[in-house]
């Protein structure tokens, strides 16, 4: 399993893949839902890519990012145990470079104010 830390390397590697690719996107804290997804897509595509990025923009006021149950070593072991080929695990600075760019915001519209959006205002702006 290859672990990639930069967006530029991920783009370069992706360009070199000629077959089908499945993405299993996570914040870390790998659980049975993630591993079921990994196991489901494995026979359906040539390459399975996992993402491991604890995105701070998905956490709103009063939500404690620092207590999110992510353990990179354990998460990477889960990816490897479920035959994921590549894990994209960038740092926050890689995804949101200081002083290089403004953090993009996407308004997901009215769907963001129902279900989980009712309890986590702004959450889906970070997801989008």
Q: Running DSSP on this structure, what letter comes out for residue 76? A: H
Q: Tell me which architecture the domain covering 2-96 has in CATH.
A: 3-Layer(aba) Sandwich (3.40)
Read off the pLDDT of residues 2-19 as tens digits, 9 standing for 90 and up.
999 999 999 999 999 999
Q: Return the pLDDT at 57.
A: 79
What are the residues whose beta carbons fall under 8 Å from the beta carbon of 106, sequence distance 6 or more?
125, 128
Which tokens in the block code for residue 122?
A: 């702004």
Does 31 participate in catalysis according to the annotation?
Answer: no
Q: Return the pLDDT at 119.
A: 67
Q: 26 has which bridge partners?
A: 52
Q: Return the pLDDT at 103.
A: 62
Q: Which of 31, 34, 82, 123 is catalytic?
A: 34
User: Is the distance from CB of 77 to CB of 34 less than 8 angstroms?
Assistant: no
Candidates 91, 88, 82; CA nearest to 43 is 82
Read off the pLDDT of residues 23-64 as tens digits, 9 standing for 90 and up.
999 999 999 999 999 999 999 999 999 999 998 877 777 777
Classify residue 68 by burial, with Cβ atoms within 10 Å: 0-12, 13-18, 19+.
middle
- Delimit the domains of the chain by residue range: 2-96, 98-128
């Amino acid at each position: 399993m290859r672990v990639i830390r930069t967006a530029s390397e991920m783009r370069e590697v992706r360009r070199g893949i000629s077959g089908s690719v499945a993405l299993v996107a996570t914040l870390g804290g790998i659980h049975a839902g993630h591993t079921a997804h990994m196991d489901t897509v494995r026979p359906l595509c040539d390459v399975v890519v996992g993402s491991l990025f604890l995105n701070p923009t998905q956490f709103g006021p009063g939500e404690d990012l620092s207590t999110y149950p992510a353990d990179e070593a354990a998460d990477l072991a889960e990816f490897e145990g479920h035959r994921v080929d590549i894990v994209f695990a960038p740092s926050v600075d890689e995804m949101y470079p200081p002083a290089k760019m403004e953090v993009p915001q996407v308004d997901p519209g009215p769907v963001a104010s129902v279900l989980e959006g009712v309890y986590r205002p702004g959450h889906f702006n970070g997801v989008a």
